[in-house]
A and B are shown apart, each in its own frame.
Chain A
Amino acid sequence: MFRNQYDTDVTTWSPAGRLFQVEYAMEAVKQGSACVGLRSRTHAVLAAANKAASELSSHQRKVFRVADHAGVALAGLTADGRVLSRFLRSECINHAFVYDAPLPVSRLALRLADKAQVCTQRSWKRPYGVGLLVAGLDESGAHLYYNCPSGNYFEYQAFAIGSRSQAAKTFLERKFKGYDDYTPEQLIRDALSAIKETLQGEKLTSSNCTLAIVGRKDDGTVEPFEMIDAKRIQEIIDSMEAAEETPVAAAEPSSTQEEDKGTDAAPMDI
């Protein structure tokens, strides 16, 4: 095919002015299981759909605490994501060491983006194959950023990445305009509903999703970034389903989801 001539090296441009290796890296993000992020003025929520490599194994960790005031959810090559989380953690620690203040979320996203850009301009490197949703709280409120393998980053009110994320994005597009004034509980509910959209029929339980929140309460106290435990997630899901009063879809075995993704998904692509 035409484009295969210019896609060997990340440092080779195509005649149309594209870097195919970078675009292929963004495809890797779309292979990962879905992640969703949303924010109000004071709180930011991250949710991820858990996928296990097989029924015997545990699921991949997709949501990481980076500092007390920030965390990330990732989709794509989770090994790359783990390494980047470690980098973000050390950036936050070093900034706090030097300036005695938390690293503002926009600067955190910028550091990550600069690191990703380096890999798009060295012939001996490859782009990171992971997209990150960076959620955090700083002096100017709650923020959500999406960092892609290309080195670009954008701020969002709400966003979804990974496989079947379009379903979640459609759901979020309908409701995001009101998010600034949402309470944390409403944000959590919408995050879970968005993840439910990506599961496409499979029943949403506390074992196939992860949830994390960070924010500042009305009285000024800060709620540091933390994962919400499975028991509480299940309670929220149960109360959501009771409120909907619709019959819950029958549970499908997760092995069918694996086949849907395509038989040549490499084991590292979760």
Chain B
Amino acid sequence: MSRRGDWVYENNGGTCVAIAGADYCVVAADTRLSVGYSILTRDHSKICELADKCVLASSGFQGDIKALHKNLSARELLYQHQHNKRMSCPAMAQLLSNTLYYKRFFPYYAFNVLGGLDSEGKGCVFTYDAVGSYERTGFSAQGTGSTLIMPVLDNQLKSPSPLLLPARDAVTPLSESEAVDLVKDVFASATERDIYTGDKLEIVVINKAGTKREYIDLRKD
């Protein structure tokens, strides 16, 4: 494979998924770190808890992802000092978008999914491209396995067109445990065909009681 001398990125693979519910949000990512056809580690978290109701999962180039997460954590701390409260998920969503676009001409090689609860306590998911274009949705997948997972989520979770009346919520009517089961299923499927996804699945569930973390084994091949 011919490489430009100035190519400073590499793709460390992995997949991230988030699903928003009426009063919860599930954010999940696998824990495999790879480069090329090799595995660097089976046990690396792609998920960062930025605030008590706001969790970021990113896949792509780990160097940029680490820097991005550190940057956002520091900004959240500053926000806490200035406003005497933690950042809300929609506020963090805008901050992440601005942070990414700030490096429009030398981007963070990070594909992000932000999940959490909004100020009303409803689940929200924000999905991004590498330069900060974002949208609030009911569910999203990013990373190497996203093309395998997204169609399945569309099939299971997509609500009818917003043009139809009566207006329906974008967030899924599924219960928390049903959503977690769906996440486990889609990751098991993605692991089968995407070589960069596997090893372990880290699931973070945010609801008004707080944040819960769970680990599920995936295929290690």
| Chain A residues with a Cβ under 8 A of chain B | 65, 86, 89-90, 93-94, 96-97
State whether B74 touches A65 (Cβ < 8 A): no
C-alpha gap A89/B84 in the complex (Å):
13
Inter-chain CB contacts under 8 Å: number: 12
Do B70 and A97 touch across chains, with their CB atoms under 8 A apart?
yes
Query: B78 in the interface, Cβ–Cβ < 8 Å?
Result: yes
User: B81 contacts the other chain (Cβ, under 8 Å)?
Assistant: yes
The distance from the CB of A64 to the nearest CB of chain B, in whole angstroms, is: 8
B188 within 8 A of A: no
12 A–B pairs (Cβ distance < 8 Å), ordered by A: A65-B81, A86-B81, A89-B78, A89-B81, A90-B78, A93-B74, A93-B77, A93-B78, A94-B74, A96-B74, A97-B70, A97-B74
Residues of B within 8 A of A96 (CB): 74
Residues of B within 8 Å of A86, CB to CB, are 81
Chain B residues with Cβ below 8 Å from A97 are 70, 74
Chain B residues lying within 8 Å of A65, measured Cβ to Cβ, are 81
Residue in A closest to B81 when the chains form the complex, CB atoms: A89
Taking the nearest CB of chain A, how far is it from the CB of B67, in angstroms?
A: 10
Chain A min CB distance to B83 (Å): 13
* Closest A residue to B70 using CB positions: A97
- Residues of chain A within 8 A of B70, CB atoms compared: 97
A97 CA to B71 CA in the complex, in Å?
A: 8
Label chain B's interface by main secondary structure.
Answer: helix
Q: Which chain B residues border A93 with CB–CB below 8 Å?
A: 74, 77-78
Ranked nearest first, the 3 interchain pairs of A and B with the lowest CB-CB distance are A93-B74, A89-B81, A97-B74
Binary flags per residue of B40-82, CB closer than 8 Å to A gives 1, else 0: 0000000000000000000000000000001000100110010
Chain A residues near B74 (CB, 8 Å)?
93-94, 96-97
Residues of B contacting A90 in the complex (Cβ-Cβ under 8 angstroms): 78
CA distance A94 to B81 in the complex (A): 14
Cα separation A94 to B75 with both chains bound (whole Å)? 11
Chain A residues lying within 8 Å of B78, measured Cβ to Cβ, are 89-90, 93
- How many angstroms between the C-alpha atoms of A56 and B170 in the bound complex? 48
Q: Roughly how many angstroms separate A97 CA and B81 CA in the complex, as a whole number? A: 16
A86–B81 Cα gap in the complex (Å)? 9
Closest residue on chain B to residue A90 by CB atoms: B78
CB distance from B72 to the nearest CB of A (A): 11
A97 to B77, CA, bound (A): 11
Closest to A97 in B: B74
Q: How many whole Å from A63's CB to the nearest CB in chain B?
A: 13
- In the bound complex, CA of A223 to CA of B96 (Å): 30
Residue of B nearest to A93 (CB): B74
Question: Given the complex, which residues of A lie within 8 Å of B77, measured CB to CB?
Answer: 93
Complex interface residues of chain B between 109 and 137 (CB less than 8 A to chain A): none
Q: List 10 other contacts, CB 8 Å, given A93-B78, A97-B70.
A: A65-B81, A86-B81, A89-B78, A89-B81, A90-B78, A93-B74, A93-B77, A94-B74, A96-B74, A97-B74
Q: Which residue of A lies closest to B73 (CB)?
A: A97
What residues of B have a CB within 8 angstroms of the CB of A94 in the complex? 74
Please measure, in the bound complex, the distance between the C-alpha atom of A235 and the C-alpha atom of B77, giving whole angstroms.
Answer: 31
B window 78-122: CB within 8 A of A: 78, 81
Which residues of chain B come closer than 8 Å to A89, judged between CB atoms?
A: 78, 81
Q: Which residues of A contact B81 (CB under 8 A)?
A: 65, 86, 89
A89 to B78, CA, bound (A): 8
Shortest Cβ gap from A173 to chain B (Å): 34
In whole angstroms, what is the CA distance A73 to B145 when docked?
52
Alpha-carbon gap, A96 to B78, bound state (A) = 12
Name the CB-closest residue of B to A68: B77
Residue of B nearest to A65 (CB): B81
Smallest Cβ distance from A87 to chain B, in angstroms?
12
Q: How far is the CB of B84 from chain A (nearest CB, A)?
A: 9
Provide the bound-state CA to CA distance between A152 and B55, in Å: 43
| Closest CB in chain B relative to A82 CB, distance in Å | 11
**Can you name the residue of chain B whose Cβ is closest to the Cβ of A96?**
B74
